[in-house]
């Protein structure tokens, strides 16, 4: 009996065609989860969309792993991807002095971006690690950044001296670090 390939089987064939670009291959499988895995390389973000307040800072939590027979050379975040080779965000003039790598060279790749600007939301952020092996370079999937607008509502709307008033702060997206309002 001859069976025509099911939809899934055909998809697998399609994916196999792009194995010459291993990153693309992995991205097809895992992009929706924020985890990108390839040959024991993995970069994982608990959240791929981060929200912050203009002028404030955000942390982009991130963990990674790599084959045990390799040694880590560089760990950095980048925004550029193509056509130039990815370069360290902290050396980018638009970000100079505003990015702080909170991670290490073991498994933590968290990043902090400070003094957030509107233009920061136009980029996609990726963690990258390079190892002592020429082929042992890997970038995670993308993290996007949005800036929240802050709204304050007063309830009740009109009050006189001595009345109890409730001030409510709300944001247009849910802030990733627990903010304090003053
Ligand atoms: C890759 O991962 C597999 C499964 O977890 C493990 O058995 C193997 O030792 C790993 N290889 C390296 C080089 O880290
Ligand atoms: C990574 O490091 C940062 C900064 O030290 C820390 O806040 C965070 O909890 C660490 N994340 C993990 C998963 O260990």
pLDDT at residue 33, rounded to an integer:
58
User: Ligand 2: which of 102, 111, 112, 178 to mutate, judged by most atoms within 8 Å of the beta carbon?
Assistant: 102
Q: Is 69 in the pocket of ligand 1 (CB under 6 A)?
A: yes
Q: What is residue 108's DSSP assignment?
A: B
Min mean pLDDT across 62-71, 122-131, 168-177 is at 168-177
CA distances 166 to 152, 154, 171, Å, are 10, 6, 16
Given the CA of residue 102, which atom of ligand 2 is nearest to it? 4
Say if CB 15 and CB 8 are below 8 A apart.
no
pLDDT, tens digit (0-9, with 9 covering 90-100), for 6-35 = 333 333 333 333 333 444 444 444 444 577
User: Ligand 1: which of 37, 39, 64, 68 to mutate, judged by most atoms within 8 Å of the beta carbon?
Assistant: 68
CA of 40 to the centre of ligand 1 (A): 6
Rg (CA), the chain: 22
Q: Are strands 49-53 and 143-148 parallel, antiparallel or unpaired?
A: parallel
DSSP 5-37: PPHHHHHHHHHHHTTTSHHHHHHHHHGGGTEEE
Query: What pTM, to 2 d.p., does this model score?
Result: 0.74
pLDDT, tens digit (0-9, with 9 covering 90-100), for 99-137 = 999 999 999 999 999 999 999 999 999 999 999 987 789
Q: Which helix (H) or strand (E) holds 115?
A: none
DSSP 117-166: -GGGGGSEEEEEEEESSTT-EEE---EEEEEEPEEEEEESSS--TT---E
**Residue 69 Ramachandran class (φ > 0 left, ψ -120 to 50 alpha, else beta):** alpha
Please give the structure tokens belonging to residue 23.
Answer: 């990153």
Domains of the chain: 7-148 (2.60.40.10)
Q: Is 44 in the pocket of ligand 2 (CB under 6 A)?
A: no
CA of 38 to the centre of ligand 1 (A): 11
């Amino acid at each position: 009996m001859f069976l025509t390939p099911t939809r899934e089987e055909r998809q697998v064939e399609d994916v196999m065609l792009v194995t010459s670009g291993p990153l693309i291959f992995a991205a097809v499988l895992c992009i929706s989860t924020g985890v990108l895995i390839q040959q024991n390389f993995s970069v994982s973000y608990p959240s791929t969309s981060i929200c912050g307040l203009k002028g404030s800072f955000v942390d982009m939590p991130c963990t990674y792993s790599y084959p045990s027979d390799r040694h880590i050379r560089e760990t950095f975040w980048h925004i550029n991807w193509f056509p130039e080779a990815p370069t360290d965000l902290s050396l980018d003039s638009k970000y100079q002095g505003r990015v702080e790598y909170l991670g290490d060279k073991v498994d933590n790749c968290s990043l902090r971006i400070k003094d957030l600007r509107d233009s920061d939301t136009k980029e996609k952020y990726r963690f990258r690690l390079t190892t002592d092996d020429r082929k042992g370079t890997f970038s995670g999937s993308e993290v996007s950044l949005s800036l929240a607008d802050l709204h304050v509502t007063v309830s009740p709307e009109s009050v006189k001296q001595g009345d109890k008033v409730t001030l409510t702060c709300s944001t247009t997206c849910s802030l990733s670090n627990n903010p304090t309002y003053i």
